[in-house]
């Protein structure tokens, strides 16, 4: 088995996932390397962050620089020179949200590139081919993510299609495995915010050979209460021995919520995206580097953080760089926020191991209420 559960505390689990590129301690937050680059950072930065797992977007890499080029480079790990685990999404979400979607049917999707308008077709088989060419460590299946809000009929239609695509994906995967492919495989579980549909999806997914379950269809604009309620009712239905990956979530607070409901892996552009807008996370709450009080504050972003940005640079310096539109500000702020997410995951893992997850979560919430960050 590629996943071991080392400890549990309530629904929260401490685990270890073995991949083609190392072992990952879970819960883990995976930075997003949309275009084979975690924005503003290089791969030495990922090493310094201890980021042993990242997400890359199949849709983006398929369109640019192209899967064949990456294959010729020896795969995505060699192309970008990263030796940790790479999980690739299916491209389904981007086709629906970024591309000019032309047609969708039981065989796949036809769309126009958001970059140059060129026409492309993705099928379940092609999505496996793309991930195989990329050489990622963990593959996902083409899915249809319903919008929010969606009627139950809409969500059901999307689920039915996702289910059918998953059958085709499983067949394509089986062929690849017979050829020697060793990537892990995570089907994407849809069903919108309808418990009956999520149950149907969970039951179907349980019958497919899978190394873990990706939880899709969240973080699409729904109220947070609905996120957590639906997530909780879904994870309860899943096999305990497989890792659960919640796609596109989230903030530090979201991490606690998700992990408390049995999620093991998460990814989100949030920490780097908000950093590029000046927003910083700390153990005492968040703040924006553009706030006027930062301009004369010669202390670090977070006195409790040991990252190189906090050890080397003051808020006043970073505020100056940000206001002066210096590129370096974007890297330094992104690095700190990702370090904050990594530290948070380490803290959660320690708390689960020691059976004090709830107390640690409470302490986190109280710390964030301090608005003097």
Q: Which residues are catalytic?
A: 89, 267
Asked whether position 39 contacts a second copy by CB under 8 A, the answer is: yes
Longest dimension (CA), the chain: 62
Nearer to a second copy, 14 or 36 (CB): 36
In the shown chain, the binding pattern of residues 65 to 104 toward a second copy, with x for contact by CB under 8 A and - for none, equals: x---x--xxx----xxx-----------------------
Q: What phi and psi values does residue 195 have, to the nearest 5 degrees?
A: -55, -40
Count of residues of this chain found to bind a second copy when the rule CB under 8 A is applied: 38
Q: What's the angle, vertex CA 253, arms to CA 91 and CA 28, rounded to 5?
A: 55
Asked whether position 317 contacts a second copy by CB under 8 A, the answer is: yes
Q: Min. distance of Cβ 295 from a second copy in angstroms?
A: 7
Asked whether position 54 contacts a second copy by CB under 8 A, the answer is: no
The dihedral sign for the CA sequence 343, 345, 348, 352: negative
Selected from 14, 24, 32, 41, the binder of a second copy by CB under 8 A is: 41
DSSP one-letter string for 114-155: TTT--EEEE-HHHHHHHHHHHT-SEEE-------SS--HHHH
Q: Is 372 exposed, middle or buried (0-12, 13-18, 19+ CB in 10 A)?
A: exposed
Selected from 71, 313, 356, 368, the binder of a second copy by CB under 8 A is: 313
Asked whether position 64 contacts a second copy by CB under 8 A, the answer is: yes
Asked whether position 134 contacts a second copy by CB under 8 A, the answer is: no
Asked whether position 293 contacts a second copy by CB under 8 A, the answer is: no
Asked whether position 289 contacts a second copy by CB under 8 A, the answer is: no
3-state secondary structure of 302: coil
Nearer to a second copy, 85 or 318 (CB): 318
DSSP one-letter string for 76-92: HHHHHT--SEEEE--SH
Rounded CA separation 128/145 (Å): 18
3-state secondary structure of 2: coil
Q: How, if at all, do strands 12-19 and 28-30 pair?
A: unpaired
Selected from 17, 24, 30, 36, the binder of a second copy by CB under 8 A is: 36
Asked whether position 277 contacts a second copy by CB under 8 A, the answer is: no
Asked whether position 316 contacts a second copy by CB under 8 A, the answer is: yes
Q: What's the angle, vertex CA 22, arms to CA 250 and CA 241, rounded to 5?
A: 65
In the shown chain, the binding pattern of residues 323 to 352 toward a second copy, with x for contact by CB under 8 A and - for none, equals: xx-xxx-xxx--------------------
The dihedral sign for the CA sequence 110, 188, 15, 2: negative
Asked whether position 295 contacts a second copy by CB under 8 A, the answer is: yes
Asked whether position 255 contacts a second copy by CB under 8 A, the answer is: no
Residues at the interface with a second copy (CB under 8 A): 35-37, 39-44, 64-65, 69, 72-74, 79-81, 295-296, 298, 308, 312-314, 316-317, 319-321, 323-324, 326-328, 330-332
């Amino acid at each position: 088995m590629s996943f071991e559960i080392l400890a549990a505390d309530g629904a929260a689990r401490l685990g270890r996932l073995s991949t083609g590129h190392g072992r990952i301690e879970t819960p883990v937050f995976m930075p997003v390397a949309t275009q084979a680059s975690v924005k503003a950072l290089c791969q030495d930065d990922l090493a310094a962050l201890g980021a042993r797992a990242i997400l890359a977007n199949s849709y983006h890499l398929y369109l640019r620089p192209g899967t064949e080029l990456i294959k010729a480079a020896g795969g995505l790990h060699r192309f970008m020179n990263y030796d940790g685990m790479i999980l690739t999404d299916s491209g389904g979400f981007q086709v629906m949200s970024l591309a000019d979607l032309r047609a969708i049917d039981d065989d796949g999707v036809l769309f126009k590139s958001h970059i140059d308008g060129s026409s492309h077709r993705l099928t379940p088989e092609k999505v496996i081919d793309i991930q195989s060419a990329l050489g990622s460590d963990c593959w996902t299946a083409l899915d249809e993510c319903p919008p929010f809000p969606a009627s139950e009929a809409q969500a059901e239609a999307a689920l039915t299609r996702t289910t059918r695509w998953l059958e085709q994906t499983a067949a394509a995967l089986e062929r690849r495995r017979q050829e020697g492919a060793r990537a892990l495989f995570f089907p994407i579980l849809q069903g919108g915010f309808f418990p009956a549909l999520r149950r149907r999806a969970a039951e179907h997914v349980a019958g497919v050979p899978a190394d873990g379950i990706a939880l899709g269809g969240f973080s699409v604009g729904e109220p947070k209460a609905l996120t957590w309620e639906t997530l909780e009712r879904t994870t309860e239905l899943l096999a305990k021995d497989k890792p659960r990956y919640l796609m596109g979530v989230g903030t530090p607070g979201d991490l606690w919520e998700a992990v408390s409901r049995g999620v093991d892996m998460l990814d989100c552009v949030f920490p780097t995206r908000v950093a590029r807008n000046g927003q910083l996370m700390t153990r005492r709450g968040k703040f924006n580097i553009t706030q006027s009080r930062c301009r004369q504050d010669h202390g670090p972003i977070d006195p409790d953080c040991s990252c190189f940005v906090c050890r080397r640079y003051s808020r006043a310096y970073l505020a100056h760089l940000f206001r002066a539109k210096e590129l370096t500000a974007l890297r330094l702020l992104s690095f700190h926020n990702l370090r904050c997410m990594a530290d948070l995951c380490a803290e959660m893992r320690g708390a689960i191991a020691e059976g004090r997850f709830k107390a640690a979560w409470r302490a986190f919430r109280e710390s964030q209420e301090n608005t003097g960050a």
